[in-house]
Amino acid sequence: MDFKTLVFYILSAIMVFAALRVITSRNPVHAALFLVLSFVTAGGIWLLLAAEFLAIVLVMVYVGAVMVLFLFVVMMLDINLDRLREGFWSYLPVGALIGILLVVEMALVLGGRYFGLEAMPEPPAAQAGYSNTRELGRLLYTDYVYPFELASLLLLVAMVVAVSLTLRKRKGLRQVNPSDQVTVKRGDRVELVSMPAEKE
Amino acid sequence: MEALLEPVSQFFGPAWPAVWTLAKIVAIIAPLMIGVAYLTLAERKVIGYMQVRIGPNRVGPKGLLQPIADGMKLLFKEIIVPSGASKGLFILGPILAIAPSLAAWSVVPFDDGLVLANVNAGLLLLLAITSMEVYGVIIAGWASNSKYPFLGSMRAAAQMVSYEVAMGFALICVLLISSSLNLSDIVHSQGQGRFHEMGLSFLSWNWLPLLPMFIVFLISGIAETNRAPFDVVEGESEVVAGHMVEYSGMAFALFFLAEYANMFLVSVMTAVLFMGGWLSPIGAIPDGFHWLALKTAFFLFVFLWVRATFPRFRYDHIMRLGWKVFIPITLVWVIVVAVWMMSPLSIWK
C-alpha cells in the first residue's frame, strides 16, 4: 500500500465516522460540526484526485459560508430532543425504505457495466504545469457555457425569491436608517443664530 | 547548502522530506510568533504615543521585555473550564482560532522562490483557509454556554461572512489582471508594464489600477480580523469581551495570538496582492525580502493607527458598509476591470 492509498483510507475512515455522527449525535450543534468535518475530509479526498479547485471551493463555500450560517441558525434554535425523537418508530419504515432505495440505486450505478475500471480507465497523470483551475474555467466558459449560465440564472432567481419571501415592511415600527445617518451634514443639525445681547 | 544538508538527509532516510518541511515550518512560525509578541508591545507603544502617553516602560530596557512578562503570566495561569460548558468544544475553540491563521502562511511567498508550498491555486487556498477562521470564535462562543460569548459569536459569524464576500470580489479583480492564482506569479505580474520600464515600479503595482479594490480589501481585512473599529465581536462596552469571556490563561492567550497573527496575515496579503510583495519600489534598487517586511510593517502600523483614530462602528453600520457599500462597489469594479482588459486600452497585455 503506497502513501496515497494510506491517506485515502484515513480520510475515508474519518469521513464515514463524521457522517455517522451527524445522524447519531444527540446535540444538533455537534451534528452540524461533524458535517463540517466530513466536508473538510471530502475536500481532502478530492485533493487526492488532483481536483484542487473543486476541493478548495468545497471548503470555501460549504465550510466557510453555508455551514457558518447553518450553525448560526441551529445555535439560536431551542431544539427539544425528546419532541424530535417522539415519532422515531412511526417514521422508521419510511426512512428505511428510502435508505434501502438509495443503497440499491448506488449499487446499480457503481456495479453497472458503464462504471467499472474497464469502462473508465485511470486518467493519465497530469503533466507539469497543468492547472486544474484553468482547465475547468476553459470548459465552463466554452463547451458548457449555456448550462453554466442557466444554473447561475436559476441561483439568481432563487436568491430573489428568498429575499422577497423574507422582506416585509412592518408599519408603525420606529427605526433609524443608517444611510440617512451617515450622510447627515453639520448644517442639518446645527444652526448658528446671531442675536444681540439682551440688556436688563 | 546542498552539500551541508546531504549527511543530514541521509541520516533521516525516507522521512527526510517530512523533517525538512517541518524545519521550514518552524523557520516561518517562530519569527511570526516573536513578531506577534512584539506587535502587542508595538500596539501599546504606538497608541500610547498617539494619546500622549509613554506606554509600557517598566519591564526591561524601555519596556522591551513586556511581551515576555505577559506571556509568562498567561502561561502560569490556570485554565478554568466552566461546569456548564461543552468541554471538548471549549478546548477546540482556541485551537481552531489559531490553526487557520498559522496554516495560511504556507502559501505566502517571501521572496522569489522562497515559499513553503508553491501551489497553483494559492490564492483560493488562502481564501478557503481564512474562511475557516470564524469557526474558532463561533465554537468558543457556543461552547462557553454563557450569554455574552454567545452574542459575540453570533456577531462574529454575521460580520465575517459578510466581509468575506467583498474580499472575495476584490481578489477576483487581482486574479483577473494577473491571470493566475499562484501568489508568486501575482507578484511577478506586478513587476512589468510601462511604469516599470521607466524605473518607477511602485506605479505598476496593483494598487493603482485597482485603487477602489485596494481600499475595500484593506478595510475588509480590518473587519475580518475583528479589529477596531469593527471589534463589536469583543465589544468591551456591551458584550464584555465576546467569545473570550469564559477563557483564562493560555486558552485566552491563543485567541489573542490568533488575532495578531491574522493582522500579520492580512498585512502581508495586502503587500503581496496590491503592493508588489518583495519587489522594490524603484527599479534601480534590488528586490528582496526586506521590501515585503517593510510593506507588512507599514500595514500593521495602519492597523494600529486606525484603532487609535476611529471610534467603534455601530453594528447596523457595519452590516450596511459590508452589504450596501462594498459589495456593489466590488461587483461593478469586477465588470469594469473585465471590460478594461478586453478593450484596446488594456494595460495588461
> Each residue of A131-168: b (16+ CB within 10 Å) or e?
bbbbeeeeeeeeeeeeeeeeeeeeeeeeeeeeeeeeee
Angle at A148 between CA A144 and CA A152, to 5 degrees: 175
What single DSSP character describes residue A170?
P
Interchain contact A132–B (C-beta under 8 A): yes
Candidate from A29, A57, A178 with C-beta closest to B317: A178
C-alpha span between B95 and B107 (Å, rounded): 20
pLDDT in tens, A21-64: 988 888 888 888 899 999 999 999 988 888 888 888 888 888 88
Q: What is the pTM of this model?
A: 0.85
Dump the DSSP string for B246-308: T--HHHHHHHHHHHHHHHHHHHHHHHHHHS-TT--SSTTSPP-HHHHHHHHHHHHHHHHHHHH
Q: Which of A52, A68, A152, A179 to mutate to test the interface with B (most CBs of B within 10 A)?
A: A68
CB contact under 8 A, A69 and B157: yes
Q: Which residues in chain B have their CB less than 8 angstroms from residue A27's CB?
A: 86
C-alpha span between B66 and B59 (Å, rounded): 5
C-alpha span between A87 and B78 (Å, rounded): 46
Residue B148: closest CA among B68, B283, B244: B244
pLDDT in tens, B218-253: 999 898 888 878 887 776 777 677 788 888 888 888
Residue B136: closest CA among A176, A79, A63: A63
CB contact under 8 A, A65 and B139: no
Interchain contact A131–B (C-beta under 8 A): yes
Do the Cβ atoms of B279 and B187 come closer than 8 Å? yes
- B338 pLDDT higher than 70: yes
Residue B162: closest CA among B224, B69, B87: B224
C-alpha span between B181 and B169 (Å, rounded): 14
Q: Which residues in chain B have their CB less than 8 angstroms from residue A163's CB?
A: none
Q: Is B322 exposed, middle or buried (0-12, 13-18, 19+ CB in 10 A)?
A: buried
pLDDT in tens, A102-117: 999 988 888 777 777 7
CB hemisphere CA count around B275 (13 angstroms) = 21
**Please, which residues have CB within 8 angstroms of residue B287's CB and are 6 or more apart in sequence?**
B111, B112, B191, B278, B279, B280
pLDDT in tens, B51-92: 999 888 888 888 888 888 988 888 898 888 888 888 888 888
Smallest Cα distance from A63 to chain B, Å? 7
C-alpha grid cell, residue A140? 465552463
C-alpha grid cell, residue B75? 502561561
State mean pLDDT over B334-346.
87
pLDDT in tens, B137-169: 888 888 888 888 888 888 887 888 888 888 889
- B302 pLDDT higher than 70: yes
- Residue A129 banded pLDDT, cuts 50, 70, 90: low
C-alpha span between B106 and B122 (Å, rounded): 9
Question: Mean pLDDT, chain B, as a whole number?
Answer: 85
C-alpha grid cell, residue A45? 479526498
What single DSSP character describes residue B243?
G
- Residue A128 banded pLDDT, cuts 50, 70, 90: low
Sign of the Cα torsion B105, B308, B253, B34 reads positive
C-alpha span between B97 and A117 (Å, rounded): 43
Residue in chain B closest to A72 (alpha carbons) equals B154
ipTM rounded to 2 decimals: 0.82
Q: Compute CA distances B174 → A92, A175, A192, whole Å.
A: 52, 39, 49
C-alpha span between B100 and A63 (Å, rounded): 13
Do the Cβ atoms of A71 and A29 come closer than 8 Å? yes
Q: Cell 476584490 appears where? A: B170
pLDDT in tens, A157-196: 999 999 999 888 778 888 777 778 878 888 888 888 888 8
Distance, C-alpha B59 to centroid of its chain: 29
pLDDT attached to residue A161 = 94
Cis peptide before A123 (omega within 30 of 0): no
Phi, psi of A182 (to 5 degrees): -75, -15
- Residue B330 banded pLDDT, cuts 50, 70, 90: very high
Q: Compute CA distances A110 → A92, A107, A191, B121, whole Å.
A: 26, 5, 78, 31
Q: Which residues in chain A have their CB less than 8 angstroms from residue B134's CB?
A: 64, 68
Interchain contact A66–B (C-beta under 8 A): no
Q: Which residues in chain A have their CB less than 8 angstroms from residue B158's CB?
A: 72
CB contact under 8 A, A52 and B119: yes
- Residue A147 banded pLDDT, cuts 50, 70, 90: very high
- A146 pLDDT higher than 90: yes
pLDDT attached to residue A199 = 82
Interchain contact B134–A (C-beta under 8 A): yes
pLDDT in tens, B189-201: 887 777 777 777 7
pLDDT: which is higher, A2 or A20: A20
Question: Mean pLDDT, chain A, as a whole number?
Answer: 85
CB contact under 8 A, A133 and B160: no
